[in-house]
Structure 1
């Protein structure tokens, strides 16, 4: 069985549902540094342009989750877990005014999971 590369907690799904009700369809891009560190950034779908240098890693509750190819090379051995914690989100991310922020937790894939991902062509 091939493991998911990105999963979300119930709290993250609940926040996505709330943001979707206010802003319409959403998308995520995992930031690689710069302004907001390495935070998952949530945008109205289509407001952040993805290109050939981005990889679609997952669709979480109908919401696409992208990361740059170069950053994925560093993270491909881990499962990303989208979660929510109290605090201010990134200034460009939709959850900023909500008093919470999206956060990525991670766990390293097991040797068996890495083998399954390799044989599936996902890494």
Structure 2
């Protein structure tokens, strides 16, 4: 089964470094403007998720949530979490590292989307 969210090797390395410093982590992609348009990394439990949040999967053993309205736009794509130099969201843990997480995406193939739909994941 295709993953709905994945991460580059560089992102996985940064996630591990952040986990070593902060303990268990979580991600949230809200789809809002400015900081909210980037994937935000928090210590696990610092952001309370609710009925409007969809658990896409895990990257580097870290749960990745997306707001339902944003998910409705992106459900036909695989999210690929990457990392680039620069300052990210002011509340996201990687900001002090001089790095920021970035969401890239690719459309699922017809076969992948059908598989996800059959499994009840879209």
TM-score by length of 1: 0.95
Q: Do the aligned residues in 1 keep the contact of 2:88 with 2:94 (CA within 8 Å)?
A: yes
- Determine whether 1:3 maps to 2:2: yes
Note the C-alpha offset of 1:42. Answer: 0.1
Residues in 2 aligned to 1:16 and 1:114: alpha-carbon distance in whole angstroms: 28
Note the C-alpha offset of 1:22. Answer: 1.0
1:79-111 CA-to-partner distances (Å, cap 9, x unmatched) read: 000110011010010001111100011001111
Query: Match of 2:110?
Result: 111
- Determine whether 1:120 maps to 2:108: no
Query: Match of 2:18?
Result: 19
Q: Do the aligned residues in 1 keep the contact of 2:29 with 2:36 (CA within 8 Å)?
A: no
Query: Match of 1:75?
Result: 74
Query: Match of 2:35?
Result: 36
Query: Match of 2:92?
Result: 93
Residues in 2 aligned to 1:49 and 1:109: alpha-carbon distance in whole angstroms: 29
Note the C-alpha offset of 1:37. Answer: 4.2
Residues in 1 aligned to 2:24 and 2:103: alpha-carbon distance in whole angstroms: 21
Query: Match of 1:59?
Result: 58
> In terms of mean alpha carbon deviation, does 35-44 or 71-80 score higher?
35-44
Q: How many residues align?
A: 122
TM-score by length of 2: 0.96
Show structure 1 runs of 5+ residues with no match: none
Q: Do the aligned residues in 1 keep the contact of 2:4 with 2:79 (CA within 8 Å)?
A: yes
